[in-house]
Amino acid sequence: MPEFLSPAWLEQLDVAVRAAANLAADPPFVVETRVHRPDGDTGYQVRFGADGATVAIVGTAPADVVLITDDATARALHDGTRRAQDAFARGELKVRGRLELLTGRADLFARLADAVAPVRAGTTSGVDR
């Protein structure tokens, strides 16, 4: 089982989203998640395009939308114990960039969540950080 945000976790996430046939987006866009950790910042990008989606480490491509949070909030969002809307309202999640690219894409993000659910279920928390 890969640890949350580890290279192995990112690889499994990429395999899962590449296998999902319903994650195409036009126009293409990149959503980056940056996580501030005590031992250094990390993150990943989900790139949506005409052929589907891929996952890469943070900074691989210019991001259209950037989500910024701390480690505890990122883990709560990943575990499903906190909703992004609640984290945003509390100031625990910052959003920057071209937010209009997210408008009307709730179905796309629901399909993304479905595609990565097996990875989420098999992820260790690594809470000893």
Mind listing the pLDDT tens digit for each residue in 74-125?
989 988 889 988 999 999 999 999 999 888 899 999 999 999 989 988 887 6
Backbone angles phi, psi at 6, to 5 degrees: -75, 165
- Distance CA(41)–CA(29), nearest Å, equals 23
Mean pLDDT of the chain: 91
Instruction: Kindly indicate the confidence band of residue 129, based on its pLDDT and cuts at 50, 70 and 90.
Output: very low
Q: What is the pLDDT of residue 128?
A: 44
- Distance CA(17)–CA(54), nearest Å, equals 6
CA-based nearest residue to 30, from 53, 4, 12: 53
* Domains of the chain, each with CATH number or no CATH: 7-117 (3.30.1050.10)
Residue by residue, DSSP assigns the chain as: -PBTTSHHHHHHHHHHHHH-TT---SS-EEEEEEEE-TT--EEEEEEEETTEEEEEETTSS--SEEEEEEHHHHHHHHHTSS-HHHHHHTTSEEEEE-GGGTTT-HHHHHHHHHHHHHHHHT-B--TT-
Angle at 95 between CA 31 and CA 108, to 5 degrees: 40
Instruction: Kindly indicate the confidence band of residue 126, based on its pLDDT and cuts at 50, 70 and 90.
Output: low
Mind listing the pLDDT tens digit for each residue in 36-47?
998 899 999 999
